[in-house]
Amino acid sequence: MADKFDVIVIGAGPGGYVAAIRAAQLGLKTACVEKWVNKEGKTVHGGTCLNVGCIPSKALLETSHKFVEARDHYAEIGIEVGDVSANIAKMLEFKESVVTKNVGGISALFKANGVTALEGTGKVLSNSKVEVTGKDGGKQTYEADNIIIASGSVPVEIPPTPLTEGLIVDSAGALEFTEAPKRLGVIGAGVIGLELGSVWSRMGSEVTMLEAMDSFLPMVDQAIAKETQKLLGKQGLDIKLGARVTGSEVKDDEVVVKYTDSEGEQQQTFDKVIVCVGRRPYTQGILDDDAGVKLDERGFIFVDDQCRTSVPGVYAIGDCVRGQMLAHKASEEGVMVADIIAGHKAEINYEAIPCVIYTAPEVAWVGMNEQQAKAEGIEIKTGSFPFSANGRALANNAPEGMAKVIADAETDRILGVHIVSQHAGELIAQGVIAMEFGSSAEDLALTCYAHPTTAEAIHEAALAVSGHAIHMANRKKRK
Ligand code: FAD
Ligand code: AMP
């Protein structure tokens, strides 16, 4: 038997590495097992988020956005740059350098905090033991008072479009295209599909998105979703709703995708297809037969509100458990569990977890949308404000979008904030903080915002909840 630890974390994504750092900060002897190996054969930390998720996708979103801004919009504000061209190889190099820096940062944090990094594949055995199989196949068993499973998720594959090298790819494959495919099909118009579709549309692909559902972004307030659909449509994303993909055929270097819509069977030919139909928990081989840790009916590791599994001393966090598949949700759960293990009281307010889609403009929301609140029978009042009436947005040459605040009609408590705008992902923090503090719309309305900032649009939306918006001509009558 090798070393004994207070805590062993399995998986070093944003759930696992944060849990490990926090546990070590709290004085617990901590190890973190990771099996991810990069192209150079080196074990790397950061999981999906840093290696093939949040970070590389944001690098490509940012570079492709800057390219479009320079090519199509700089002249509008008086900057003549002449012909603008993109060097995709260089963009990919930049993306890789961003990933390398981030991944290296985690290893440095492990060292600085005294987290023991174990390289290999972890498996939970019975009786608080973890077996680690190294790259060379050698096995080592460790004992731990507490185990945190943070094994993450992998893309869902669907039988109609089996992944086919270089032609039908998942989200990770779509971060590696070396040129923009002429005709690009994206299956699934969810968060990841919209982001990757945007990247390659900006780089020149004709993008068609096939989405099985009839509604667009149902988790987003439908006023904001409609505005988003309109804006993304104008940029060239052909978003087909009610289009369920049923099959595909690879012919030479093309993919014929079959789908059904309200008019019957359809088909469309693409040069490449990205499958973005969601992610599933990754638990393969992580639990020994007699580990005793139960899964729920959808294959997630079953946990309570504080991420305790069915086995005392074994916790699970992040994408491998219920809830939104988001890096920051995983990290918050990591902090909560480390705190609990160290004997502190800790919990998460799952009602106040923000979501962002990093399109241009960005879509960001927290809490309920108007449709959800009404479906739950809650009486609400709402206030909306367009960025076209916001001075800073106009000065930024980014007047698209709107902000909406949803509040309880009786108590005025904020139930949700939904935004589509430039930097909506930054603006949403206000909504999160407001909800975390149980603020009313009036609390935001009475807050002084710096001018000129796009944040003032949230202020105005909060003012609009009770008809007080200042910069809106057709505002409600003040009571
Ligand atoms: P992961 O990040 O998946 O990490 C799990 C780790 O566990 C992996 O490193 C894996 O190798 C390791 N592991 C698994 N099993 C074992 C084992 N047996 N032994 C050792 N190690 C093991 N979320 C956001 O919040 N914002 C975004 O902008 C965003 N963009 C995204 C874009 C894309 C293209 C994708 C694919 C995802 C995106 N996400 C985003 C989602 C985000 O990446 C995940 O929610 C997040 O990574 C989940 O963190 P995690 O720690 O639970 O799991
Ligand atoms: P997300 O869960 O945000 O990643 O979004 C995945 C999207 O893929 C959802 O909106 C699903 O409705 C959609 N989807 C799943 N299966 C199919 C399919 N066979 N054809 C088209 N869209 C699909």
Q: Which ligand minimizes its atom distance to the CA of 260? A: 2
Determine, yes or no, domain membership for 471: no
Specify the pLDDT at position 475: 54
What residues make up the domain containing 336? 4-155+280-348
Q: Would 162 be classed as within a structural domain?
A: no
Mean of pLDDT values over 406-414: 98
Assess whether 45 and 145 both reside in one domain.
yes
22 neighbors 335 (Cβ within 8 angstroms): yes
| pLDDT grade for 3, boundaries at 50, 70 and 90 | confident
Residue 1's pLDDT is 55
Q: Which residue's C-alpha comes closest to atom 13 of ligand 2?
A: 188
- Whether residue 208 is contained in a domain is answered as yes
Give the pLDDT of residue 476.
Answer: 57
Going by alpha carbons, the residue nearest to atom 37 of ligand 1 is 53
Inter-residue contact 240 to 207 (CB < 8 Å): no
Ligand 1 atom at minimal distance to the Cα of residue 283 = 15
Instruction: Clarify whether 451 is annotated catalytic.
Output: yes
Q: What span, in angstroms and rounded, lies between the C-alpha atoms of 111 and 168?
A: 40
Which residue, 348, 380, 400, sits at the end of a domain? Answer: 348
What atom of ligand 1 comes closest to residue 318's alpha carbon? 52
Characterize 355-387 residue by residue with b for buried, 16 or more Cβ atoms within 10 angstroms of its Cβ, and e for exposed: bbbbbbbbbbbbbbbbbbbeeeeeebbbbbbbb
Token digits of residue 351: 């009602």
Residues 213 and 287 both lie in one domain: no
Note whether residue 180 is domain-resident. yes
65 CB contacts (<8 Å, ≥6 apart)?
A: 202, 360
Q: pLDDT tens digits for 463-476?
A: 999 998 999 876 55
The residue-averaged pLDDT of 359-384 equals 98
For the record, the structure tokens of 373 come out as 């609140």
Give tens-digit pLDDT for 209-243: 999 999 999 999 999 999 999 999 999 999 999 99
Cis upstream peptide for 452 (omega within 30°):
yes
Domain assignment present for 285: yes
Residue 189 confidence (pLDDT) above 90: yes
Shared-domain flag, residues 241 and 295: no
Residue 163 lies in a domain: no
Shared domain check, 204 and 335: no
| Residue that finishes a domain, picked among 331, 348, 365 | 348
463 to 98, 198, 323, 344, 432: CA distances (angstroms): 40, 33, 32, 39, 17
Q: Are 16 and 103 contained in the same domain?
A: yes
Ligand 1 site, residue 121, Cβ cutoff 6 A: yes
| Same domain as 150, residue 21 | yes
Q: Within a domain: residue 479?
A: no
CATH number at residue 419: 3.30.390.30
Looking only at the bridges linking them, the beta strands covering 183-187 and 206-210 are parallel
> Do residues 28 and 147 share a domain?
yes
What is the length of the chain?
479
Residue 39 has pLDDT above 70, yes or no: yes
Instruction: List, for residues 107-163, the tens digit of each pLDDT value.
Output: 999 999 999 999 999 999 998 899 999 999 999 999 999 999 999 999 999 999 999
97 occurs within a structural domain: yes
How far is the C-alpha of 124 from the C-alpha of 199, rounded, in Å?
39
Question: How many A from CA of 222 to the centre of ligand 1?
Answer: 29
- Is the same domain home to 149 and 34? yes
Helix, strand or coil for residue 418?
A: strand
Query: What ligand has the least distance to the C-alpha of 170?
Result: 1
Q: What is the pLDDT of residue 400?
A: 98
Based on the fold, state whether residues 331 and 420 are members of the same structural domain: no
Which CA distances in Å does 212 have to 159, 183, 288? 15, 20, 37
Which of 402, 79, 349 has the alpha carbon at shortest distance from 224?
Answer: 402
Pocket residue to mutate for ligand 2, from 157, 208, 277, 325, most atoms within 8 A of Cβ: 277
At 460 the three-state DSSP class reads helix
Last residue of a domain, one of 348, 372, 396: 348
Residues 24, 148 share a domain: yes
When pLDDT is averaged across residues 160-187 and rounded to a whole number, the result is 98
pLDDT of residue 472: 86
User: In the predicted model, what is the mean pLDDT of residues 261-273?
Assistant: 98
How many domains does the chain contain in total? 3
Tell me which ligand sits closest to the C-alpha of residue 160.
Answer: 2
Choose the residue to mutate in 151, 199, 365 for probing ligand 1, maximizing ligand atoms within 8 Å of C-beta.
151
The DSSP line for 48-104 is HHHHHSHHHHHHHHHHHHHHHIIIIITGGGT----S----HHHHHHHHHHHHHHHHH
pLDDT of residue 2: 65
Q: Do 360 and 344 fall within a single domain?
A: no
For the Cβ of 190 lying below 6 angstroms from any atom of ligand 1, the answer is no
Q: Which two tokens stand for residue 74?
A: 């700089």
How far, in Å, from the CA of 365 to the mean position of ligand 2? 20
In order of 353, 365, 466, the CA distances from 368 in angstroms are 11, 8, 19
Catalytic site residue from 65, 328, 344, 451:
451
Per-position DSSP letters for 356-415, written without gaps between them: EE-SSSEEEEEE--HHHHHHTT--EEEEEEEGGG-HHHHHTT----EEEEEEETTT-BEE
135 and 18, same domain (yes or no):
yes
CATH of the domain at 175: 3.50.50.60
